[in-house]
Amino acid sequence: MKNSYKLKAAMVMILILTAAGLSACSSGETSETETTTVTVSAAASLTDALQEAADVFHDEHPEIQIDFNFSGSGALQQQISQGAPADMFFSASQSDFDVLVENGQIDTEHSKALLMNELVLVTPQDDQTVDSFENITEADQIAVGTPESVPAGKYAMETFETMGIAETLDPLLVYAEDVRAVLTYAERGEVNAGLVYRTDALTSDAVEVADTAPEDAHSPIVYPVGLINESENAEAAEAFYEFLQTEDALAIFEEYGFTAQ
């Protein structure tokens, strides 16, 4: 009887130790699963399309988390130039992008002009003061992005210069920190008109597209994307960079009104 009792006790102890070992292994496996976070500095006009693309990418690569820093391309370029952490730059301005290439922070072999866009004149739904570029001078206030840091603002000013109305419009301009802020001003009826990208206008039911700026009135609206050389998450960043060039990703961008290069 004593031997039988000792045998049962030993078997129970073995089961307990085995269960504890399995639990420890399981716990160890869980702790070994790490998530890599890729930081993408991107033009504000890419917000909706890029977030959707990132969600699709994350479904395929659950071990990689994409975080975004959305703002005007000029402001983002300055941040990266001054050492702000970023793994990728997706710009709405070729000139701002080229600054980082010239500084050696992005290599041309790890960059691509991926998308194109259009500049449009939008008006609040209930405001008929302006209905085209031909009578834009009748507005009381016009929202544009700050030209020094917002590419859409630079394209707007180029358009006004080409049309010969820049000096007339100067006292009417309300400057915004990025193109989404311009759209917000128009949505709220705080201005009679605003200049945004077509892709931004398509996201809103509160504005109408009154007119499209002629392509030859401003510089080409190109969206280059590239990897930052000093990235601490180079492998994961490259995976997302490659994904953005796939048919699935480009189809998402096209749904939001962008044109693939």
Other CB atoms within 10 A of residue 29 CB: 9
**Domain spans of the chain?**
36-116+221-260, 119-217
Report the CATH architecture of 36-116+221-260: 3-Layer(aba) Sandwich (3.40)
- Helix segments in 62-204, DSSP class H: 73-81, 94-102, 151-163, 166-169, 179-187, 198-201
* Beta carbons of 195 and 142 less than 8 angstroms apart: yes
Q: Return the pLDDT at 261.
A: 87
**Low-confidence residues in the chain, pLDDT < 70:** 1-33
Mean pLDDT for all residues in the chain: 90
Q: Return the pLDDT at 13.
A: 45
Question: Pick from 217, 197, 216, 215: which is nearest to 207 by CA?
Answer: 197
In CATH, what number does 119-217 get? 3.40.190.10
Q: Return the pLDDT at 30.
A: 37
Q: Whole-model pTM?
A: 0.81
Asked if the domains at 36-116+221-260 and 119-217 fall in one CATH topology, the answer is yes
Between CA 168 and CA 172 the distance in angstroms is 8
Q: What is the pLDDT of residues 58-69, one digit of tens each?
A: 999 999 999 999
Q: What is the pLDDT of residues 147-205, one digit of tens each?
A: 999 999 999 999 999 999 999 999 999 999 999 999 999 999 999 999 999 999 999 99
Q: Return the pLDDT at 32.
A: 52
Q: Return the pLDDT at 14.
A: 44
Q: Return the pLDDT at 9.
A: 43
- Helix segments in 105-178, DSSP class H: 151-163, 166-169
Burial (Cβ within 10 Å: 0-12, 13-18, ≥19) of residue 169:
middle
| Extended strands (E) in 72-152 | 88-90, 106-116, 119-124, 142-145
